[in-house]
């Protein structure tokens, strides 16, 4: 799924990539904010994908093939295009510095090494109230293409493809390196349900409805269609207001 035609550079609200230290211990929340990467131009397109994991075990006794077994959903992936341009200031070295800042998201942080839990930073892509693709992630790859140079050889324009891979939380007491999903569950909406009611029932806090809305890309919380399936995040994933 992709979201296009948001307009490049003409929005008053600029996209950002918040870069955090990875968590320490068994926490499922990112650590301290290291830096915020500010987009010079808002992306014209975001590509979001997700896969369902199925397993098929061949059985000689079954002529038409074995019935596949659903193993669960895989984490989301998002590709963001970052456009950098300093052609109006050809003496600037900002393009190279910004590309290096993105590359650093693929490097182990000194703090995580000191904590004996080596990890690259955790990141969060944010763009105003746009929450469809807001999730904790690691940067799986960065590809930078320099397209314009100063006569000195300094790059003054570049296009970067940044791939984010969602980091699922882990249940309390679980080894954070196991990669297992949190204790999320699915709820089928019935007549009379509201996000506030579900949040109070699940977490004891009606104000936590925003976490459910973001997890399910719900823009209008007052329009819940009976029969719709909602993913309810684990309690430790709830963002308290």
d(CA 18, CA 8): 20
pLDDT at 169: 60
pLDDT at 17: 92
Burial label, 107 (beta-carbon count in 10 A; 0-12, 13-18, 19+): exposed
Q: What is the mean pLDDT of residues 74-93?
A: 91
> Phi, psi (5° rounding) for residue 56?
-120, 125
Question: Do residues 227 and 188 make contact, with C-beta atoms less than 8 angstroms apart?
Answer: yes
d(CA 54, CA 68): 6
Q: For the segment 40-70, what is each residue's pLDDT rounded down to a tens digit? A: 899 888 898 988 888 877 766 656 667 777 7
* Percent of the chain whose predicted confidence (pLDDT) is above 70: 80
> Phi, psi (5° rounding) for residue 48?
-120, 130
Q: Is the pLDDT of residue 7 over 80?
A: no
Architecture field, domain 183-241: Roll (3.10)
pTM of the predicted protein model = 0.62
- Helices H / strands E in the chain, number of each: 4, 12
Q: Beta partners for 124? A: 18, 136
Q: Which residue ranges make up each domain of the chain?
A: 2-180, 183-241
Q: Is the pLDDT of residue 96 over 80?
A: yes
Question: Do residues 19 and 33 make contact, with C-beta atoms less than 8 angstroms apart?
Answer: yes
* pLDDT band, very low/low/confident/very high, at 134 (cuts 50, 70, 90): confident
pLDDT at 99: 96
């Amino acid at each position: 799924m992709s979201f296009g035609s948001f307009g490049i550079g003409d929005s008053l609200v600029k996209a950002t990539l918040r870069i955090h230290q990875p968590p320490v211990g068994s926490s499922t929340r990112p650590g301290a904010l290291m830096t915020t990467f500010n987009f010079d131009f808002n992306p014209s397109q975001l590509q979001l994908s997700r896969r369902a994991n199925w397993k098929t075990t061949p059985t000689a006794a079954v002529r038409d093939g074995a019935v596949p077994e659903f193993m669960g959903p895989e984490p989301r992936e998002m590709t963001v295009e970052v456009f950098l341009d300093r052609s109006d200031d050809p003496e600037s070295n900002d393009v190279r510095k910004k590309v290096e800042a993105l590359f650093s998201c693929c490097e182990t942080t000194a703090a995580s090494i000191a904590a004996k839990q080596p990890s690259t930073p955790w990141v969060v892509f944010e763009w105003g109230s746009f929450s469809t693709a807001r999730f904790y992630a690691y940067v799986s790859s960065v590809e930078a293409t320099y397209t314009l140079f100063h006569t000195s050889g300094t790059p003054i324009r570049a296009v970067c493809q940044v791939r984010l891979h969602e980091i699922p939380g882990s249940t309390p007491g679980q080894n954070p390196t196991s990669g297992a999903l949190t204790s999320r569950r699915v709820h089928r909406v019935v007549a009379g349900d509201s996000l506030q009611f579900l949040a109070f029932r699940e977490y004891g806090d009606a104000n936590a409805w925003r976490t459910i809305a973001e997890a399910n890309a719900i823009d209008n919380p007052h329009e819940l269609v009976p029969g719709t399936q909602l993913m309810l995040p684990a309690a430790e994933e709830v963002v308290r207001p």
